[in-house]
Structure 1
């Protein structure tokens, strides 16, 4: 499988962000029925603001100056149903998965190929799962590393705040490798190409996509973790959650989901 995405908005300077998020938080907290089927309140009039972290191809990445990708197209369906436009806010993945992006009023929804986990469900609410994922290992094509057991005494790269990081830490003592964190996927992938790390762990779809487009790397193994991605909303925002689930289900029923999937992965999904 393959994935990549783009960026529309850049991170705001810290001072500006503090002011902006404070005002956004007030807007989120005012007005609107948060019960399912109630009124949906948006932090910016006429916009469905989506927090994401770029790049994470093919889910969200920049192409010809525009943010595109699988997740982007799915959230566009929600925006269309609401009669507004989607606006992408690029921020740290750690801020998204910790719930801080919702707490500070940065976004209405978060779509960042984000796995639904019990920890994350403590600070945000998730839609029904819309994509299945596992973890995988990326290495250079001239590498002798095929499994985690081959990494003893070597460095394994991981992306900060991801389920790949969690998996790597859980198995570190067993296999005796060192760990190095990277802020985003692109830096992690480049680290494998340049030999900064012996291997990298991340979601299978993005690593397979990268390997398909770069002859100097390959995916040697996948780890069955049974993950599912979900679109997140602010905790307690039942109206938005209901709308997202409604649109996702309708898209699966009428074939739009399959068309978007095939657009970004080159084939229709086996099941949805």
Structure 2
């Protein structure tokens, strides 16, 4: 999710609890297996045999629940890291606002954060980022009945604009003089557009593409202006966790070199751009 801000804020929700509980149960850890450990290459992990990823659900196509399992573009890439380290990925659903501060990394709850997170100088103060793994842009999605396609039209007609809280979409909208309605999740953004709480929204382009695959959404909404904000996504680790960061970088580079990245990109997002990340 793009953002100089990030993605979103708290969201105590049953789904999050259910997903976390299901994943913890699936781990089936005995008392002997609990506690920190070490993966291949001397990479420290907060739980033996696991690479624990903090994310924030839902954020399709990067991470979301399907058939009781968390899947998506980010999930598939981190699975490559886990495989190289000889461990399994374990996913925790956590508030996005903590990703900016590195709270869950510093507390030892997670090894890394993977949440469609834009690399920014402000965030670098609190966490270390992997090399960029995705080039991101923002897009405007509007209800067809509104008749608007650009942010300029939204402003001129004094219509309501929505964005996901704590994201670069929200930050960009504010930088353009808007006071956007802030929704706590991408699902809430779409619902706000669907129910008429807002006339248009600005959010990550891959998210919009995913929404428009649904025929009902394609019939009700129209893709408008594309905004290139120069954003790139990165996975974050605790400050100074150089071994894990290097392992993530290696997995990204190897995947791009051997065609695995292209395959994952096309599975979860669509055709890989010619100058794709």
TM-score (norm 1): 0.83
Per-residue deviation at 1:38? 6.3
Q: Would you say 1:147 and 2:150 are equivalent positions?
A: yes
- Check if 1:194 corresponds to 2:198: no
CA distance in 2, matches of 1:91, 1:204: 23
Distance in 1, Cα, partners of 2:17 & 2:86: 20
Choose 262-271 or 208-217, whichever is displaced more.
262-271
Q: Which runs of 5+ in 2 are unaligned?
A: 1-14, 22-34
Provide the rounded CA distance (Å) in 2 between the counterparts of 1:197 and 1:122.
34
Question: 1:269 and 1:170 mapped to 2: Cα distance?
Answer: 28
User: What CA deviation, in whole Å up to 9, does each residue of 1:11-67 have, x standing for no partner?
Assistant: 68xxxxxxxxxxxxxx77xx97xxxx9621111111101111111111111111110
Instruction: Name the counterpart of 1:253.
Output: 257
Which runs of structure 1 show a deviation greater than 4 angstroms over 4 or more consecutive aligned residues?
6-12
Query: In the alignment, is residue 55 of structure 1 matched against residue 58 of structure 2?
Result: yes
Alignment correspondent of 1:3: none
Cα pair 1:7 1:65 within 8 Å, conserved: no
Question: Which residue in 1 is equivalent to 2:268?
Answer: 264
- The aligned residue for residue 164 of structure 1 is 169
The alpha-carbon distance between structure 1 residues 9 and 82, as it changes in their structure 2 partners (threshold 3 A), is: farther
TM-superposed deviation, 1:9: 5.8
Distance change (3 Å), C-alpha of 1:139 and 1:57: same
In the alignment, the residues of structure 2 paired with residue 8 and residue 264 of structure 1 have an alpha-carbon distance, to the nearest angstrom, of: 25
Following TM superposition, by how much is the alpha carbon of 1:269 offset from its aligned partner in structure 2, in angstroms? Answer: 4.2
Alignment check: 8 A CA contact 2:20 2:91 kept: no
Q: Which residue of 2 aligns with 1:42?
A: 45
**Count of matched residue positions in the alignment of Structure 1 and Structure 2:** 244
Deviation at 1:254, TM superposition (A): 1.1
Could you report, residue by residue, the CA deviation over 1:190-238 in whole angstroms, capped at 9, with x for unpaired residues? Answer: 1111111111111111112212322211221111111111111111110
Q: 2:242 matched to which residue of 1?
A: 238
Query: Is 1:137 aligned to 2:137, yes or no?
Result: no
Matches within 5 A, 1:98-137: 98-137=101-140
- Sort the Cα spacing of 1:8 and 1:80 in 2 relative to 1 into closer, same or farther, 3 A: farther
Provide TM-score, normalisation by structure 2: 0.82
1:181 equivalent to 2:189? Answer no
CA distance in 1, matches of 2:114, 2:50: 15
Q: Which runs of 5+ in 1 are unaligned?
A: 1-5, 13-26
CA shift, 1:145, in A, is 2.0
Question: Which residue is equivalent to 1:74?
Answer: 77
Cα RMSD, aligned residues only:
2.3
Quote how far apart the aligned CAs of 1:8 are.
8.6
